[in-house]
Structure 1
Amino acid sequence: MGGIIGEFNFLEPEWIYFPVGQPGAPQMVSRQVAQRAGVLDRKYRRYAKALLPELKLLDEIAQENSAGPVAVYVPLTPPETRPLVAAVAWLVPRDSPDAGRTVEAIAEVVRGPRSRRFREPEIELVTLPLGPACQVKEILTVEDAPTDDGRQPLIEELTHYVLPECYPEGVIEFTITFNRSGLAALMMDAALDMANSLIVEPA
C-alpha cells in the first residue's frame, strides 16, 4: 500500500471487510454473507452466490488501484436488482499534484474534466482528525448499464483527499461509492463517520 498501513471503522454486519488480493477473497465475503443470519438458509445461499461476479470484479479493480483496506456494504435484505453490493469504501495512496501537496492544488485537479460526470462536483476544504482534506461529492453515470426504462443509472461518490503528516510524499484518497437510492442519506453519514475514523501509519 505504498509504504503505509491504513484503517477505518465501519458498522457490521452490513459492512464487511474485503481482503483484497488474498486467495479466494470474493468467496470469503460471499460465505460471510451466507452465514451472517446465523444459519445457512436457502435465501442467503442464493444471495451469497449471486454476489460473486460483483465481488470478483471489485477484487480486480481494487488490486489494479493498490486499494486497501476495502469494505463493502451488502444489505441484510437482498436488493431486487443489481448491483447487490450497494456501496464500496476504500483507501488508496496517491501521488501529490504537480502543483504541490496542498488541498488547494488537489481541488484544482478535481475541477478538471472527468468522464461520466453527471454534474459539476461539490468541493469543500475540510479538516479531518487525520489531517487537512479536500472533500469531493460527485454524481456519475454508470457506463453500459441502462435501466429497464432506458434511463442511465447514477452512482454517488464522496471522496476525501487527505494530507496526513505521516505520509509527506503523497495523498491519501478515501472514497465511498454507492447507488443513488433511498440509501443516499445513510451512506453520506457513514462516509463522514468513516472519514473521521481514518488512521494511517508507515508500514
Structure 2
Amino acid sequence: MDTIKRVLIIEDEFIIAKDIKQVLKASDYDVTIANNVVKAIRLFDEEDFDCIISDINLNDEIDGIELIHQLFNLKFVPVVFLTAYNDNQFLERAKETIPFAYLLKPFDEKQLLLTIDLAILNFNKNKSVSNPTISKNQLETLTRREKEILISLSTGKTSKEIGSIYHISPLTVEKHKKNIKKKLNMSTVGELINFVFQSNLYSL
C-alpha cells in the first residue's frame, strides 16, 4: 500500500486554500493549511511534508518566495508556487528557489493534481537514484567551503546571500560555483541540488 503523501498549503485566502485542500483530499492526500508565515514555519519545522503549495503574494511581513527561502534552511521539498498574475519580477525571484512549477489562479483541478503528483514523483525519483561510490569520490574533490556553498545553493540562496553568510564577495561565490560544476561535471543548479541529496551532503 502506498504511503499517504502530505502537502502543506501556504495560502492566506481561505476560500482558495479550502478549494485546493478539497481537490487534494479527494485524491487521498493528507493536507495541512498554513494561513500565515509564522504558522507555516512552525508546521514545516515540526512535521514532515512531501510537497509545498505556496502563494507568492502573501499578505504578511514577507512574501511566499522569501518564506520558501527560510523553509529551505530547515529542509528541502518540492515547491509549487501559486500566483494571480504573470509578473516577471516575481517569477525571476521565485526561480532562485528552484520551484517545480507555477500555477496561475484560478487553477485547473486536473492541472493541480498532475503538477503535485509529478513534483513528488520526480523529487523522490531523484533522491532514490544514487551511486554511493561516485558520490563519495566526487565529495572528496570538494573543499569544505565548496561543500558549504553547495548546501547553500540547494536551499535556493543567491550568490549575494551566500557571500553575506561566508563573508566573501558574490564574484567569489560565482567562482566557487564554477569550480564545483567543473569538479562534479555538472552544468545546472538542478543537477547540483540532486547531488546534494544523492550524496547525503546535509549530514556530513
- Is the TM-score greater than 0.5? no
Interval containing the TM-score (normalised by the shorter chain): under 0.3
Higher helix share: 2
Normalised by the length of structure 2, the TM-score is: 0.25
Higher strand share: 1
Q: Which has the higher contact order (CA 8 A, sep 6+)?
A: 1
